[in-house]
Structure 1
Amino acid sequence: MHPPKQALSINRPRLGLSAKLLFVTVLFVMLAEVLIYLPSIANFRRNWLHDRIAAAQVAALVLEGAPEDGLPEGSENRLLMGVGARAIAARVGGARRLLSLDSMPPPEVSRSVDLRSLGWIGAIEEALAVLVAPATMPIRVVGEAVGGADFVEIVIDEAPLRQAMLTFSGNLLLISLLMTGLTALAVYIALNALIVWPIRRLAANVTAFEAEPENPRRIIEPSLSADEIGEAERALARMQATLADELRTKKHLAELGLAVSKINHDLRNMLAAAQLMSDQLIETRDAKIRRFAPRLIATLGRAIAFCEATLAYGRAAEATPSLRDVPLRLLVAEQAEMLGLGEGKKPRFENRVPAELVLPCDPDQMARVLTNLMRNAIQALTRAGAEAGSEPVLTVTAGIENGSVALRVIDNGPGVPERARANLFQAFRGSVTPGGTGLGLAVAAELVRLHGGAIALEPSATGAVFSVTLPARRATGIDRTPSSVIASAAKQ
């Protein structure tokens, strides 16, 4: 059984930001040293060879002034030993003059180096070749001459050159390591002071604030730094202050809501008892009491409904919808029957939802949405009647629009007052009926949002049109709903 990924990430050894910065600094400094080393070692080799050519130039001057029969015996060996060469040759006046330790011709060479035309790329390549693959035989070096000679060439062993290059490389390595250490230490200290320590302070503050978000002492005190970290500290301080205030406010409201819920619970029981006793007033013989009794009972009913709505809204958040394929026309018909709508009853009800239309939704939650919208329409039509003296009609339509299911609850009543439109779907602020709480529309909007849809009041010439747009299943069941069926249903 494998441990969860989160546990693995927690137990994994963590490389701190300081260590990462130190590692990156050392890496880049060493890379810079490598880039510096290549031209340095090439230049060292060039200078070393130039020194040998310079000594050979002196020998060339000696050869130039020597008599035709050559130098005195022993002078040639001493001259070659001073240069460190096996042979020295110079072209003087078109004739090639040669000094050699051996009486035989100059030995065969492994490679030739012409310092007169040696570029930087070639110098670097040849220097690396000396270190990686040294020559087993002498090498030939050609350079400029002074005086009357055309050029000077020498034949030398490469071993002394390679040894000198290794010594130079070792010294350069020691200096590079020292520079790398000092640079990395300086950068490490600077980055820790400028970045790492302020970030650690931010992280520690966020952790402490997470443990006690309502404690004002946990709010970070921004530094006076004008850089990005200073801006982050000031932004964090503002965010923490706002969040702490919001949490304190929400906690206060939660405690207040709990108290109100308890009061409403007891008040609802008392009002229910008062309503039961008030029902007996209708049977009294006193005409005045019988005239006011229905009003009293209706007022008590509204008070009880307000208490129940407040208790329902104060409960925990709505559950996540459990989606099922629901025939929308049948669901609308069930809610209409529960609300007392039917043939011969007012207002007249028209169900124009296509029978083939299937909606993926939570049937219980969608039933509550329909009940709230249809009840509001019934109350508006019952209270104020229809516009222009026409028959009160409540109509529910639905269809596929732009890949979504569009459901509309339409009435020909007085419409929604302008003062209620701004806060239409906010609890206790968006009531469209006198004495209402506005919780019905707020609950409906919350349930529609849980389904991933939207609810709105559409503009209309008469009455009110509430539209609910919900995601349609991408399967062929809904998409195959013929547009002719929807069009014919809308014309009924």
Structure 2
Amino acid sequence: MTRATNEAKPREDTRPRFARRLSTRLFALTVVAVMGAEVLVFVPSIARFRLDWLQSKLETVSVATLMADFAEGGLLLSPDQESELLHALDARLIAIRRPGSTELLARAPDLVSVDEQVDLTKESRIDSVLAAFDTLLSHRPRTIRLVGAIGDGTMTGEIVFDEAPLRRAMLVNSRNILLLSLGIASFTGLLVFGAISLFLLRPIRSLTRALVRFGADPEDPSLILRPSGRSDELGIAERELAGMQGVLADTLRQQRRLADLGLAVSKINHDLRNILASAQLISDRLADVPDAQVQRFTPVLIRSLDRALHYTQSVLAYGRAAESRPVRRLTLLHRLVEDVFETQLVTPEQRIELVNGVDPKIEADLDPEQFFRALSNLVRNAVQALEGESGDAIVRRIAIFAEAPGDGLLRLVIEDTGPGLGPAARDHLFQAFRGSTRAGGTGLGLAIVAEIVKAHGGQIRLGASTTPGARFEIQLPGALPAPSGNS
């Protein structure tokens, strides 16, 4: 496992280009949102401005009625007076309608026709909005004839004028609204940006820098994020990230130690194979010794050395302690359990009872070498647990049973009367270096058992025992060629 270098520049990695920063996008989004709201306000606003302008234009006709009141006895305005009146009101025609009569006050000589007619008494709100945008978007000069109530509402005023002054006033008003909207949007965007940058973006940037620094050297505990103590969602994220970084750092350090351990084991394993080969040659010669005890234990010793030599060769071949695919053969399970018990070399002084409860007729389809190692690990753990028990009245028993519920399923039960497993061992059962069942153990034995059972397509679990001690249950689907009776 190679160690990551710490040559990265976290500030450059965590500070993207200005256009790609969250803060820039947030500011732009805020401005766009405020401008969109201002557009919604602008539509009725410009329509109201047009109506107010037209209404004020129409009210100027009331001024002209005063001049009409001076024209007593049918006295009409002179052409010069009409011209001055039209110029003062910026109009082309002025007329007043009274109940029962219509009075023309002034008219420009060059007025021939009008382009648009506007009757404020009949115009709806939608018509007003459409007419406002029609005026804004029109580029040709037009003449407008405007009709509406004036005074106390008993008279109707009529005025004809050029549309250009109205359009200029609406453009100026639109520009003012646009500038005001931009100012409001910018100010609001800055406020929102400042608040979110302080309470959101800055902590996120800190998290990003911490991730980049930790990624450069994840085994350095000093690079683990220190939570700020916030109580909101970001505070939870900081605490969870710090915890995850701690677990990851511990895991990486453990993996490094395992890699170093694997290299050391491979070197030791190479020399151990040569030693086992020499021991195998010597054990072969022991078979010629006529002593009865030697003749009894020599076959067991030879088989154990053969298995050890085969396993060390497998470790060297694969470069790691991994299980190869099982080579399944029909195996007498009862005899396999007997071999396991014989290799434990339990002495009478230990007073440990080994019970082989497997039916001698059961033939299981499995890899005998791998399952020999699996059962040996379980039995060895049980023997070590019972050796720590003192007292002549204590029952020391290790039993292995086989059950065949049907459909080719084989269930093996390995139980003992030892002290059982503690909470720490239960929480990390079958995990190497964490699931040890005794003080000073490595937990490799149970991890190997779990790997072998899994390679056979089975499962192993810690079963519930009615008596003190540990009870392991192994289930192997399809291990029985035909249903067999229980032991």
Q: Do the two structures share a fold, i.e. TM-score over 0.5?
A: yes
Give 1:417's aligned residue.
Answer: 414
SS in 1 for 2:158: strand
1:44-92 deviations in whole A, cap 9, x for unaligned?
2222111111111232354367435144535444433332222122221
Give 2:3's aligned residue.
Answer: none
1:103-142 pair list within 5 angstroms: 107-134=112-139, 136-142=141-147
Structure 1 CA distance for aligned equivalents of residues 451 and 122 of structure 2: 89
1:244-293 deviations in whole A, cap 9, x for unaligned?
12222232333334334433443343233123212212212334433443
SS in 1 for 2:97: strand
- Partner amino acid, structure 2, of 1:125: L
Structure 2 CA distance for aligned equivalents of residues 264 and 438 of structure 1: 21
Structure 2 CA distance for aligned equivalents of residues 225 and 142 of structure 1: 67
Structure 1 CA distance for aligned equivalents of residues 56 and 89 of structure 2: 9
Report the CA distance shift for 1:30/1:266 in structure 2 as closer, same or farther (over 3 A). Answer: same
Pair 1:153 & 2:163 matched: no
Structure 2 CA distance for aligned equivalents of residues 131 and 148 of structure 1: 30
Shift of 1:94: 1.5
SS in 2 for 1:369: coil
Pair 1:231 & 2:236 matched: yes
Shift of 1:126: 0.9
Give 2:281's aligned residue.
Answer: 276
SS in 2 for 1:391: coil
Contact 1:64 1:148 in 2 (8 A): no
Structure 2: where are the runs of 5+ without partners?
Answer: 1-15, 341-354, 367-406, 421-425, 437-443, 464-472
SS in 2 for 1:415: strand
1:177-236 deviations in whole A, cap 9, x for unaligned?
333433334433333333333222211211110111111111112223333323222211
Pair 1:393 & 2:363 matched: yes
1:163-202 pair list within 5 angstroms: 163-202=168-207
- Give the number of equivalent residue pairs: 388
Contact 1:60 1:152 in 2 (8 A): no
Q: TM-score, structure 2 length as denominator? A: 0.65
Contact 2:26 2:193 in 1 (8 A): yes
Give 2:108's aligned residue.
Answer: 102
1:13-412 pair list within 5 angstroms: 15-63=20-68, 66-73=71-78, 74-102=80-108, 107-134=112-139, 136-147=141-152, 149-301=154-306, 303-304=308-309, 315=320, 368-371=325-328, 379-380=336-337, 391-394=361-364
SS in 2 for 1:236: helix
- Partner amino acid, structure 2, of 1:466: L
SS in 2 for 1:225: coil
1:112-146 deviations in whole A, cap 9, x for unaligned?
12223433322221111112125634111122222
- Partner amino acid, structure 1, of 2:35: M
**Sequence identity, in percent?**
39
Report the CA distance shift for 1:127/1:465 in structure 2 as closer, same or farther (over 3 A). Answer: closer
1:11-35 deviations in whole A, cap 9, x for unaligned?
x987232332233233333323333
Shift of 1:387: 5.2
Structure 1: where are the runs of 5+ without partners?
Answer: 1-11, 319-364, 397-407, 431-435, 449-453, 470-488
Give 2:458's aligned residue.
Answer: 455
Structure 2 CA distance for aligned equivalents of residues 76 and 170 of structure 1: 36
Structure 1 CA distance for aligned equivalents of residues 165 and 281 of structure 2: 119
Shift of 1:375: 8.5
Structure 1 CA distance for aligned equivalents of residues 101 and 113 of structure 2: 21
Structure 1 CA distance for aligned equivalents of residues 308 and 234 of structure 2: 56
SS in 1 for 2:413: coil
- Partner amino acid, structure 1, of 2:458: I
SS in 2 for 1:197: helix
Structure 2 CA distance for aligned equivalents of residues 67 and 379 of structure 1: 137
Contact 2:330 2:364 in 1 (8 A): no
Structure 1 CA distance for aligned equivalents of residues 332 and 119 of structure 2: 103
- CA RMSD in angstroms comes to 4.3
Structure 2 CA distance for aligned equivalents of residues 254 and 64 of structure 1: 112
The structure with higher relative contact order (CA 8 Å, sep 6+) is 2
Structure 1 CA distance for aligned equivalents of residues 68 and 478 of structure 2: 109
Shift of 1:394: 3.6
Report the CA distance shift for 1:208/1:240 in structure 2 as closer, same or farther (over 3 A). Answer: same
Q: TM-score, structure 1 length as denominator? A: 0.65
Report the CA distance shift for 1:168/1:269 in structure 2 as closer, same or farther (over 3 A). Answer: same
Report the CA distance shift for 1:198/1:189 in structure 2 as closer, same or farther (over 3 A). Answer: same
- Partner amino acid, structure 2, of 1:87: L
Report the CA distance shift for 1:440/1:22 in structure 2 as closer, same or farther (over 3 A). Answer: closer
Structure 2 CA distance for aligned equivalents of residues 311 and 375 of structure 1: 30
Contact 2:96 2:102 in 1 (8 A): yes
SS in 2 for 1:96: strand
Pair 1:466 & 2:456 matched: no
Contact 1:427 1:442 in 2 (8 A): no
Report the CA distance shift for 1:309/1:126 in structure 2 as closer, same or farther (over 3 A). Answer: same
Contact 2:450 2:460 in 1 (8 A): no
Report the CA distance shift for 1:254/1:152 in structure 2 as closer, same or farther (over 3 A). Answer: same
